[in-house]
Amino acid sequence: MTSLFARLGVPSNLCSVLAERGIETPTPIQHATLPDSLAGRDVLGRGRTGSGKTYAFLLPIVTRLAADRRRPAKGRPRALVLAPTRELAAQITESLRPLADAARLSALTIFGGVNQNPQVRALTAGVDVLVATPGRLLDLRDQGHLSLADIEITVIDEADHMSDMGFLPGVKKILAATPAGSQRLLFSATLDKAVNVLVKQFLTDPVVHEADSPTSPVATMEHHLLTVPAERRTDVIADLAAAPGRTIFFTRTKHGAKRLAKQLVGRGIPAVDLHGNLSQNARTRNLDAFGSGRVQTLVATDIAARGIHVDEVALVVHADPPAEHKAYLHRSGRTARAGNTGTVVTIATPEQRREVQSLMRAAKITAQTRDASAEVLHGLAPGERVRLDAAEVAARIGAPQQQSQPPASGRPRRGGQQQRSRSRGRRSRSRAA
């Protein structure tokens, strides 16, 4: 039986790689863009987070480079993928490697915050596909370690996020350094003015495809607005965090993320933070702890909304309301992935309520306004609340025991062997039933 991906033009060896990973049916964005991108056209694709954009651009890259077996020259990669964050760049490479291995292509990820010498050595050895954040790429190019003159295909992933995060001037420099006749693919959750600037300046007769996944987060998630007095905020957050399953809490500031994670740890809840003040090793360690399920509570700034791929996150909590509606959508998109349902909770003080309601109208979201009673909280996050002792919390988060605090007095606590194993995926199914 012919693979559905093969019918779109994907080579059989790459179809086999996808099938081994249980990927046999193209998502709408893949189905829409692959025939044009595989044919060498410039493509502008819009799809929400979780819609399958990564394979929509990796398959054309690998297919194109595999058709020409020439070795990459020293410091001159043949394909480029730009991503706004280190974490997203690493995750793109993780998806790329099995495809690249099947086609006997080399791949390299470069980003800031780590020693550049290993990246320089890898570039010197020759790289087919380079996945990079704009800042480190420009640094290495300006130092003479990297040339974009041999680029055959360039991908800008999360193009709208690039402009939000101030990367637009750097992205323009990078695109201008690639050959004028090379293929360019832009993928974005939204098509705004900043994205249009790139399209008009750098894409040639692009094909535009707008396709959302049938399990689009906006279509499947439940939205709730809890009005909570400031003095009860941490208690409400801790109650939700102590429930079973993966939860992401978003804060507006790096200091707020660090403080909230520390507060949860002090209440016997294993929690890790993710923000720009952490070293790259700490960011990787914390994200691995969350992704593996060893720690089921992540407290993050908006950096974690920028393309982080962790499935089975059924609850997203805006511990601080976002600054604008696009941030609400990007944050909320961390749940309702891979066909699962999801729940989004926004915590607002009475003074913030009107502002948040206006933000939700701009995002075209209808939320249920609720109080933060115990009954409501257990309805949003069902299951036994579990708080661990200090030693078990420290073991989960990978911190020295003396840096952890015992749960606050008067709060229930569990022994070190207590496991929070029930998944919110099960909870979501039972709610749907």
Beta-bridge partner residues of 185: 43, 155
How far is C-alpha 302 from the chain's CA centre? Answer: 10
Residues 67 and 112: their CA atoms lie apart, in Å, by 32
How far is C-alpha 113 from the chain's CA centre? Answer: 19
Summarize the confidence of residues 276-295 as an average pLDDT: 87
Q: Is the pTM of this model over 0.75?
A: no
Summarize the confidence of residues 243-260 as an average pLDDT: 94
Question: What pLDDT sits at residue 42?
Answer: 97
Radius of gyration of the chain (CA): 22
Question: What pLDDT sits at residue 52?
Answer: 83
Question: What pLDDT sits at residue 308?
Answer: 65
pLDDT band (50, 70, 90) for residue 341: low
Instruction: Return the number of other C-beta atoms located less than 10 Å from residue 115's C-beta.
Output: 8
Instruction: Decide if pLDDT at 101 tops 90.
Output: yes
Instruction: Decide if pLDDT at 258 tops 90.
Output: yes
Contact 404, 267 (CB under 8 A): no
Question: What pLDDT sits at residue 302?
Answer: 83
Provide the 3-class DSSP secondary structure of residue 200.
helix
Beta-bridge partner residues of 207: 43
Instruction: Decide if pLDDT at 404 tops 60.
Output: no
Contact 348, 320 (CB under 8 A): no
Instruction: Decide if pLDDT at 307 tops 90.
Output: no
Instruction: Decide if pLDDT at 283 tops 50.
Output: yes
pLDDT band (50, 70, 90) for residue 40: very high
* Higher-confidence position of 183 and 28: 183
- Give 60-99 pLDDT, tens digit per residue: 999 999 998 889 999 999 999 999 888 889 889 999 999 9
**Domain ranges in the chain with CATH number 3.40.50.300:** 4-210, 217-424
CATH of domain 4-210: 3.40.50.300
Instruction: Decide if pLDDT at 421 tops 50.
Output: no
Residues 268 and 393: their CA atoms lie apart, in Å, by 6
Instruction: Decide if pLDDT at 147 tops 80.
Output: yes
Question: What pLDDT sits at residue 374?
Answer: 93
Instruction: Decide if pLDDT at 422 tops 50.
Output: no
- Give 177-225 pLDDT, tens digit per residue: 999 999 999 998 777 777 888 999 999 999 999 875 444 455 567 899 9
Question: What pLDDT sits at residue 352?
Answer: 92
Weakest-pLDDT range from 159-168, 173-182, 374-383: 159-168
When the pLDDT of each residue in the chain is averaged and rounded to a whole number, the result is 85
Contact 33, 126 (CB under 8 A): no
Summarize the confidence of residues 26-36 as an average pLDDT: 93
Give percent of the chain above pLDDT 70: 85
Beta-bridge partner residues of 370: 226
- Give 124-139 pLDDT, tens digit per residue: 999 999 999 999 999 9
For domain 217-424, the CATH superfamily is P-loop containing nucleotide triphosphate hydrolases (3.40.50.300)
| Cα angle for residues 179, 58, 119 (degrees, 5° grid) | 70
DSSP state of 71: P
